[in-house]
Structure 1
Amino acid sequence: MTAARHAVEDLLRELAPQVLGALVRRHGDFDACEDAVQEALLAAALQWPGAGVPDNPRGWLVTVASRKLVDRIRSDSARRRREDALALATPQAELLGHAADTVPDADRDDSLALLFLCCHPALSPAGRIALTLRAVGGLTTAQIAAAFLVPEATMAQRVSRAKRTVKESGIPLTVPEGTDLTERLAEVRHVLYLIFNEGYTTTGGAGLTVPELSAEAIRLTRMLHRLVPDDTETAGLLALMLLTDARRPARTGPSGELVPLAEQDRGRWDRRLVAEGVDLISRTLPRGRVGPYQLQAAIAAVHDEAEDTGTTDWPQILALYELLERFGPNPVVSLNRAVAVAMVHGPAAGLDLVTALEADRRTARHHRLLATRAHLLELLGDHGAAAASYREAARRTTSAPERRHLTARAHRLETRA
């Protein structure tokens, strides 16, 4: 793919939510507006690499999308009344192809309002993620389906149901204010967190990561942080993403194999992202009430600032995990704390905590619990039991890179015995 086409795709992804927000604000029908915007984006993707980007690319897209919307309604004779109403509501400058800055609110960016709409509590969790990636992230239904390892038809149904819910619920295109903003921020942050995690360590498939998802999560979280710069948890979430994504270049080997944190070449970490993340969390922690995202970012910062595993400040990490557990029972946090306990107090102490977690049905049969048990058994020198746990963990994971990594560790221990 040429550099020009790459640049056009990046620009279209940035402009897509702005154009959709403009159409939804003027015409109200989310579903029809979204289809019209997709047609306009396709037209731009075909024309701009060769003909050049217009002087006002957003105005061009708004104009074309508005025309597509009007044409779609005119082609349906059963919607004549809606056609008339829409024609009256549509600025004539757009229909005639005039410059978009003659249109009221042409420079208004509704991307954040669209993000809040897509993360509305009326939508199902799966619907929020799908609609956010489609409408705000600019990903196609096929791309989202591939990222989450579901058939395209299944993802299309999720998107369709979400759009239908938006239409039937009458969810407004607006950024909430006051108490409503505070409450809704938690929903938006959670959706962005899930999107980032799926991109950083995908739950299944041949690849370990889906960089497009993590990149979109970071981009959208930056937007959210600009809206609420004083919200410490939003800042913490952004710092967590930056500090975690900084390790991506070293997470896989030449053949795509998983490289665990302790074995990564830290010289390959993105030090620009590390510096930005450390600076952000360092400025955020003293400012207000500390929350889970800030604590996770602080843990990531301790890892990222260490030269290697041996110089990592494990007592500080353990203290941070103990604080994190106070926000409510979370088996994943408890499992990570068990590793920190093992690094501070010895593998036997960590193994005791892992054994206790086996009573939790949420993690009892999870491959990560078995992999952690195997690692601690390996540190204790019980290579036979460690190999068996590694193999059982490999059988239970749905990620091909993780399966290969766990199987290789088991094989290495078995050859030592």
Structure 2
Amino acid sequence: MTTTAERPQLSPGATSLDTTVVTSWKAPIAFGIFTLIALGLAVFAPRAGDTTYRWSQESDVIQVPDLVVPAQQALWAVVALLAVATLSSILRVRSKRRIPLWLVVVFAILFMFGFLTWAGAGSSLPMIGLLFGSLSLAVPLIFGSLAGVIGERAGVVNIAIEGQLLAGAFTAAVVASVTGQPWLGLIAAMVAGMLVGMVLAVFSIKYFVDQIIVGVVLNVLVTGLTSFFFSQVLAPNAATLNTPPRFDRFPIPLLGDIPIIGPVFFRQTVIVYLMYIAVALVFFGLFYTRWGLRLRAVGEHPQAADTVGINVNRTRFWNVALAGAIAGLGGTFYTIGSGIAFNKEMTAGAGFIALAAVIFGQWDPIKATLAALLFGFASNLQNTLSVIGSPVPSEFMLMLPYVVTIFAVAGFVGRSRAPAADGKPYIKS
């Protein structure tokens, strides 16, 4: 259920003034559901004791004091604040005002604080490990979401992110194992991802095959090929073909010593640092360069772009290929990024979660990155809670990343408009 109101708004990268504001009841409904969940925990599953948040490791130069929180009292306080946020969102929608992003972020942080405090009652939560692991698990999702943003901004739905991640992981493992050079594995992974992207581009752009079908077929094809080669080639010759070296972690001087932030963000491998650069470059290039202007033009109004001399299909082709290379780079996290041998279907649906991050992030590189971090946090949460002996069933924790994905896309997005020509082949008249 949506309502509309007249209000001038100029979104990033927009070229004209949009006077239509669409307000949605999705967010208030989702707010209400999560508020009721928190209330249910407080009423029907109260937990006594204190929850200790540990913010430092013994090796840190600067030690941050632990935060000790009484679990039950904190949960009731969170329930009250969530109720206020829910009421605020209802009033905003009734008055035909859009729910700001900061309110969604604050609500999510409050709920997670209340849930962690409840789950960790009587235990200590290693927050550095939780955040570090969350960032690590989000790395392939962020690369995949960047690939999705570039492809869909150019007008091509990239369902094949899963296949590109898997192809990158497989190629990186084999090349790095044979050569002993993880850098060569990284380059090979980008080439493999680009080739998958080129196949998607050729069939969807040149031959006008349905982009969704091509992407699904490519995912199945790459999964089948990598599984076959793993069983027939890699497994019998694991010592030479599937023992990839890994990139070592190296801290950035000074930055790595900053409390909390340093251990999480600046004591990483080169793949994570490349991710930081990729996010910055894609955001800047998309909104502040001629490349980005042309890319968005062929995704929004290809006929208008064609009339000013932009080769629409060529622009789409090379940008889909670039997106494939970025996704292939993300696939290296599974092998040379972690020092793990390649295994069948080891991406485990990460490409589809990355695609959800694109939608949740409203086709914006920064927002998609934040969404991918949220999914990474949800994935790592199950590991942390199992270590501290949380009462939450392990089956629920295993499905948590996918539950978050569903709620994020269906509940918190509100108004989300894809590029106008997304998924539509351009036939020059």
TM-score range, shorter chain: under 0.3
Q: Give the alignment's TM-score, normalised by structure 2.
A: 0.26
As a proportion of its length, which structure holds more strand? 2
Q: Give the alignment's TM-score, normalised by structure 1.
A: 0.27
Greater RCO between the two (CA within 8 Å, min separation 6)?
Answer: 2
Find the structure with the greater CA-based Rg: 1
As a proportion of its length, which structure holds more helix? 1
